[in-house]
Amino acid sequence: MNPERCFVKELQLIAPGVYPLWFEDYKKWFLVRDYHRRVPGITEYNPTTGKHYIVELVLEDEQGNPIPLDGRLLHALRLLRYEKYTYKLKELIDRRKAPKEKERKRAKEQLNERANELLKMVYRLMHTKTFDLGG
């Protein structure tokens, strides 16, 4: 069973080096990546191509039913890949942003304290007699 050529091209754009492989024993598609050597417990051997491969993803739902190769799967893979990389990127940005946020918060608190002191001083000056006009 061969996948559609357009599906394979789109999959290569999302995850270079990954291709679908049909397993007759499981009646499911697997997304696999070729590997240059045998690693026990990690790689498998494909006798038809004569290469070792790593299983990246088994295309099945929660109940174990096979998922067909279509546009919905490609969209889900794009989202999965996007979340995988942006989560790490966002975490790094947030970690870098945290000290600056603390500095900004401290500066804002100091500015508010100075503004309150100024308002207190203005209020005192407004209600304190400075000159007696003798009227």
State pTM to two decimals.
0.60
Quick one: which of 70, 73, 35 has its CA closest to 55?
A: 35
Structure tokens that stand for 100 in this block: 């600056």
d(CA 8, CA 38): 25
d(CA 33, CA 28): 16
Q: What strands, in cross-sheet order, belong to the sheet with 18-23?
A: 18-23, 28-35, 51-58, 44-46
Give the tens place of pLDDT for each residue, 102-127: 888 899 999 999 999 999 998 888 88
Give the tens place of pLDDT for each residue, 74-109: 888 888 887 776 666 666 666 767 777 788 889 999
d(CA 93, CA 13): 26
Q: How confident is the model at residue 134 (pLDDT cuts 50, 70, 90)?
A: low
Domain locations in the chain as residue ranges: 5-69
